[in-house]
Amino acid sequence: MREPILLTPGPLTTSLATKTAMLTDWGSWDSRFNELTASVCRDLLQIVNGGNSHVCVPQQGSGTFAVEAAIGNLVPPTGKLLVLVGGAYGKRMVQIAQYLHREVVVYETADDTPPSAEVVARRLENDPTISHVGLIHCETSTGILNPLAEIATVVRAAGRRLIVDAMSSFGALPIDVAALNIDALIASSNKCLEGVPGMGFVITNRDSLMASRGNSHSLALDLVAQYDYLQATGQWRFTPPTHVVAALRSALDQYLAEGGQ
């Protein structure tokens, strides 16, 4: 019997090599697995040019867990988030901020209309208490690609910080976190990189991550704690999705062999 082909944004149909990579069992404390984690993180950073300024923090769970971790860590309890909403994932980021009791304001556009950088600039000028801007790079629910570079430019000019959900663009479209001064960029294993579901990751500016110590509302989603522990031991803090990491390693190998992005 033939398996159905998944044409969804992710999880999607994976290659035989990616599936085969999950036939090995890994001990979560073993140095071989630690090397696997480190090499995956190195490549993820490299793909978006984050090697010097940024770090990669992996997070167990689906992409939403990583978005929630990023908001909960990087937006301090005294901060205020402006979310640019044009579909389901923008709305989800607003909902996350509300759950975490972070002050949140919304700039909403119609499903077929990307946000305007001029409007964002005006909103920031009119409200100096906005500390962070949240953007969905590609709004998967509508297919709209939002103007990341233009938004990043006005956010930087206003001296605020930018958090980008790049779940369905990471690996497929060019993103330069250093040049765009992106505070945090979030994606997961099972979208354009064509791994299997089970982990997300946050590519975050190292200084911003260090400055966020103590902000996290959640033990399991504390990115600083996860990063510190990885630095100190090479290990994830709690049981890692070992087979998912191995599959992502294989998917990245295939991605790089095919020429990357």
- The binding site for ligand PLP (CB under 6 A) comprises 9, 62-64, 67, 89, 136, 140, 165, 167-168, 188
Minimum CB distance to ligand PLP, residue 199 (Å): 10
The smaller minimum CB distance to ligand PLP, of residues 190 and 212, is found at 190
Structure-token pair, residue 76: 């301090």
Which residue has the closest beta carbon to ligand PLP?
Answer: 63
CB of 100 to ligand PLP, least distance (A): 16
- List the structure tokens of 230: 């990885």
Between residues 73 and 168, which has the closer beta carbon with respect to ligand PLP? 168
Residue closer to ligand PLP (CB basis): 61 or 234: 61
CB 40 within 8 A of CB 249: yes
- Pairing state between β 132-136 and 161-165: parallel
Element (H, E) at 243: helix 242-257
Q: What amino acid is encoded at 157 in this protein?
A: A
- For residue 23, the 8-state DSSP code is G
Q: What is the closest distance, in whole angstroms, from the C-beta atom of residue 93 to ligand PLP in the complex?
A: 8
The distance of closest approach from Cβ of residue 2 to ligand PLP in the complex, given in angstroms and rounded to an integer, is 26
Choose between 53 and 180: whose C-beta lies nearer to ligand PLP: 180
Exposed e or buried b per residue across 135-154, where buried means at least 16 C-beta atoms within 10 angstroms of its C-beta:
bbbbbbbbebebbbebbbbb
Residue given tokens 């801007």 in the structure block: 133
